[in-house]
Structure 1
Amino acid sequence: MPSSKELTLTYNVLNDENTFSEGDTLTGRVTLTLAKDTKVKSLFVKVKGDANVHWTEGSGDDKTSYSAFRRYFKLKECLIPEDTLLPQGIHTFNFMFTIPQGNMPSSFKGSFGKIVYMLEAKMCRSWRMDCVVQTEFSFVSMSIPAFVQFPQERSVEKEMGLFSKGQVQMAATVDRRAYAPGETVAVVANVNNSSSKKMTPKFTLKQNVMYFANGSTKTSEKTICKMVGDVITPETEQTVTCPVEIPSDLGQTIHNCDIISVDYYLKVYLDISFASDPEIKFPLVIIPPGFSSVPQPGGAVGLYPPGAVGGPSNSDFPPPAVPVEPYPVPFGPGTYGYPAAPDPAQQSDMRSGYNNPLPQQASPYASPFSSSSSSSVHHPPPNAPAFHPPPTAPPMFGPSPTAPTYNLPPAAEMMNTNFLSQPGEEPPSYMSLPPPPATEKSPTGPDAM
């Protein structure tokens, strides 16, 4: 019967969208339930961000595989010292990570690749299978290139073919370029049907994904949503208005990953039977919630106002709707956790359990353990190893000679007279300059050298 009954991993949310960004603090807890006293070789938790692509082409002997991998970061925290004997019962371990700053892409899953940010807890025992539990979390990148929010306008004209006569003209506009999930694209199309055929205006939001590996490219296109307008009869002109809503769960535009790129565009076209359809494409940028998406003619759209480096917080998402208690309370002897939010100096050292600068409690491992199966034990982080500075190198040279002493000229007295209020008077002189030295005349004539 295995001694490990259950290993669970949970994390605390930061906002209503349950997302994280660069610089955010990720906290949570690992719970280990033991049916009997168990010697654990290691127990740790780590967080990482990876991108993978893979696809195959051909078949049989001509089958070729393409794959690529990118790692953006990996942080690890040891929860107990090595080869620790844990007593029977429930053990809870708290952890804290700070997501690094950097140009990292948002979470994404596609047909031939994915970008995943994951937490993982792992317990290792001698001569036993490792116990591993994983949970993904959604990462939203704030590394958005600057762009200008102007309305987009395009037009197309088409001559009809052999089975009809006349021509058709269409001009369409959208109110801006960038939208957040849940917003609505206002599309207006003016159609002049000077032909003998009827046609139907249609509006389609599409996602285009490109995967890159081993010098090759794989493209995947998917329709997100589609709207259909009323039929336009021959020899008529009509203006069609269509609101296209961006799905609330739609992924972000991705341009900062070298093996996966994600783009969106809105296709406006006229469906004509037995003829090629005239179409217009509007590129769209899907931005994260909280990103400034209002039109700003003449200026770039960004997370912060012009000239600002950043706000007091590392995330632009709104605060959670209800207070979140990221740290367990109360804290007593033998409790492993963080009693208060640490300052920035502490956060930089919390990526490993051995660099935890918080005050250490007395370790419970030296005392007899309770044999009760219902006991709940909270463990402190392991003590940091002692640091011994390297020896100081002996001096290679003797003492430097003493610099000569220079006597500074006496300082002038403080001037208390307001010369601007005494017109016509010369200001007093505070230093008599010596007369210039006599200039010797250079010899001239044949004796001059």
Structure 2
Amino acid sequence: MFEQTIRNFKINFIRHDGRNSFSSGDQIIGHISFDLTKETKITSITMRLKGNANVHWTAGGGGGTRKHYSARLDFFDLKGVILQEDRGMLLLVLFGRSDTWQTNSHCLCPFIIATRGTKLQLGTHVYPFTCPLPLGNFPSSFHGVHGKIVYTLTVGINRPWHMSKDFVTELNFVNHTDTNQPGLNAPLSGSNSVTPCSLWCNSSPVTLTVSVAKKAFTPGETVKIFCEFSNPSSKTATPKVKLQQKQTFYTHSKRNRKMAIKNLAYVSGEPVGAQVSYVGTEIMLAIPSSASLTISECSILVVDYIIEVKLHVGALDEVVVLFPIILCDTPVQSYPPV
């Protein structure tokens, strides 16, 4: 069997910048390696570089009335053909189209992949390759509840009278955020109030004012949230902070959509006693390092983040302040204090 002939296939990427991700225009450099258990005739080694987004969900009741909604976007699809080059090298040239994403409509990306010869001897074989990712405003990799954005590099090893054996590796693709955009490092603030109702509803309002130093953060960063409370009521109020991820999936027409909310982080502050005015406190919210980046460049899959600050007053009443934030790959410095 072919699976017994080729073993220990690996794709190794060479990165000198210490990153474990790729972005638009990056050079993908590395090598493939595999072991052969016997002398084997190889007709070609091909590579395919793809990027796409897929969404799918169902809605409706039972009894066969459920409807299926789906959409797909192809960012690029570069397919390889083996050509013979001088000095006994084989050159793999990729041709692809990527019209939708404002890249060159025809991409020509060379891979140096294997030495000339049809028979490979028993043992370990290692072949280098290199190829640039196309330029374009492609969204970051993401796996969601009802869809995903994936980038893959597929190596196909072809033998006479055998089906091609494909090895697929998923690339971690990151869309670099332009940190010079206005507003990313500007402070955010908001306030809200609620009047706790007793029998005669004559209580004074409980007020919550919240501020953060900037709008853009990176996964793993800690958000310092400054809260100011005014609690003239007779009830103790407890502040709670939550980081929510909102995933929104669309069909191409935008007439149908599906939304999913995930709570990624949660922290509770110290209770605010009754009959107090303008008490300030800081609450630290750690963004999980595994959190995905904000996605706004894809027409069928959008990922947003919201910080929710909630002040519980007794068992029934609450004050809520919401902050939309952005998670990006590059640290953003807040405005220095005046």
Q: Same fold (TM over 0.5)?
A: yes
Residues 10-34 of structure 1 show CA distances to partners (whole Å, capped at 9, x for unaligned) of 2223433411112111111122322
- Give the number of the structure whose residues are more often strand, by fraction: 2
Query: 1:157 is matched with which residue: 179, 185, 193?
Result: 193
Identical columns (%) = 31
Cα RMSD after superposing both structures: 2.3
Q: Say if 2:104 is the partner of 1:64.
A: no
Map Cα deviations across residues 302-328 of structure 1 (whole Å, 9 max, x no partner): xxxxxxxxxxxxxxxxxxxxxxxxxxx
Residues 166-188 of structure 1, C-alpha deviations (whole Å, 9 max, x = no match) = 12111111111111223222211
Per-residue CA distance 1:340-392 (angstroms, 9 max, x = gap) = xxxxxxxxxxxxxxxxxxxxxxxxxxxxxxxxxxxxxxxxxxxxxxxxxxxxx
Give the Å deviation of 1:269: 0.9
- 2:95 aligned residue: none
Letter in 1 for 2:36: L
2:17 pairs with 8, 15, 18, which one?
15
1:348-387 matches, within 5 Å, as none
Q: With the length of structure 2 as denominator, give the TM-score of the two structures.
A: 0.80
What are the equivalent positions in structure 2 for 1:50-449 lying under 5 Å apart?
50-58=52-60, 59-77=62-80, 78=92, 79=113, 84-144=118-178, 146-148=181-183, 149-162=185-198, 165-166=202-203, 167-213=205-251, 215-237=255-277, 238-289=279-330, 291=331, 293-296=332-335
Partner of 2:89: none
Using the size of structure 1 for normalisation, the TM-score is: 0.61
Q: Which has the larger radius of gyration?
A: 1
Distance 1:241 1:279, change over 3 A: same
Give the direction of change, closer, same or farther, for the CA distance of 1:60–1:31 in structure 2 (3 Å limit): farther
For structure 1, the residue ranges without an aligned partner over 5 or more in a row are 298-449
Q: Matches of 1:14 and 1:263 in 2, distance apart?
A: 32
Residue 139 of structure 1 aligns to a residue in which SS?
coil
Q: Is the 8 A contact 1:165 1:195 kept in 2?
A: no
1:143 is displaced (CA, Å) by 4.9
The one-letter code of the counterpart of 2:197 is G
User: CA shift at 1:204, angstroms?
Assistant: 0.8
For 1:82 and 1:68, locate their aligned partners in 2 and report how far apart those are by CA, in whole Å. 42
Deviation at 1:296, TM superposition (A): 4.8
Task: Give the total of aligned pairs.
Answer: 295
Conservation of the 8 A alpha-carbon contact between 2:177 and 2:328: no
- Give the conservation status (yes or no) of the 8 Å contact 1:40–1:82: no
